Amino acid sequence: MLRSLKIIVIMLAVLLLAVAGCGGQQVRDTSSKQNGSQVGSGQQTTGKQKVLVASDVAYAPFEFQDPNSGQYVGFDMDLIKAIAEVNNWDYEIRSMNFDGIVPALQSASVDMAISAITITDKRKEQVNFSLPYYQSGQCVAVKADNNTIKGFEDLSGKKIGVQIATTGADEARKIPGAKITDYNTINEAFMALKNGNIDAVVNDYPVTLYFIQQGNKDVKIVGGLRTSEFYGIAVPKSKPDILEKVNSALKTLKENGKYAEIYKKWFGKEPPDFLPGEPSSN
């Protein structure tokens, strides 16, 4: 009888261990499935493709953080939202310094970048660009009481502030004898100008104009535009499917009037007829 009782106890213990083992395996399997649905699939639970978008969100009026809501707003932000809606994408903005955007694209750690990025031959060697969606140019900004600098021709030997890795920085370095200071953000360059640390800022015209219009009347633009430049959405060379969808969406937004609506919201006028697209060669 005692022997039979021992056998029963052993059998019950084995049975309990087996049940516990099955339960533990169920927990691990469930956890594995949850992780698998979130990591590396490019899909959210909505079934939409998720895309990561790099941007230097300190470049108003193209991209900046609203002080009240904390949301990223601006012309570029509205445009990428509209592109995502056309393509049925979920998207996430990855904020980074401008000089980090091209390396992020080259490593494909992001799917695209929208950040008032001028299309240049050098950058086209590193990334692909969408159709042009904005026309810009470089200008000179000085303090409002400066009457000696009247344009690019007066910048020789002067202290000039620029944002690092921009076409404004490239243009400034062409000026004979100029002493160039690179700043991580254009707002830092503007503050240095207002504080008298530099003589001028070379930067994109619409961004400089917007800065002045936001109550910075102690700064003014002098002279004409140095260049004619076009912004494009940058995409890794390894993601031609993304580029195709971006271009298709830009064409759709042009045709349905949404692009013009966004343009007028931020710049108060109709966009050039060719945008988004290549300018006429005539």
Ordered by where they begin, the domains of the chain are: 49-135+231-267 (3.40.190.10), 138-227 (3.40.190.10)
Check: CB of residue 112 under 8 Å from CB of residue 54.
Answer: yes
pLDDT in tens, 174-186: 999 999 999 999 9
pLDDT in tens, 249-271: 999 999 999 999 999 999 999 99
**Rounded CA Rg of the chain:** 27
Q: Would you state the pLDDT for residue 208?
A: 98
Check whether 239 has a pLDDT greater than 50: yes
Q: Can you tell me the distance from the alpha carbon of 244 to that of 86, in angstroms, rounded to the nearest whole number?
A: 13
Q: Would you state the pLDDT for residue 272?
A: 97
pLDDT in tens, 77-120: 999 999 999 999 999 999 999 999 999 999 999 999 999 999 99
Q: Would you state the pLDDT for residue 282?
A: 53
Angle formed by the axes of helices 240-255 and 75-87, nearest 10°? 100
- Residue that wins the pLDDT comparison between 149 and 46: 149
Of 236, 212, 231, the C-alpha closest to 222 is 212
pLDDT in tens, 35-48: 222 223 234 456 89
In percent, the amount of the chain with pLDDT more than 70 equals 83
In percent, the amount of the chain with pLDDT more than 90 equals 82
Q: Can you tell me the distance from the alpha carbon of 27 to that of 48, in angstroms, rounded to the nearest whole number?
A: 28
Of 255, 253, 267, the C-alpha closest to 80 is 253
Which of these ranges, 25-34, 42-51, 140-149, 201-210, has the smallest mean pLDDT? 25-34
Check whether 25 has a pLDDT greater than 80: no
User: Residues with Cβ < 8 Å from 269, sequence gap 6 or more?
Assistant: 263
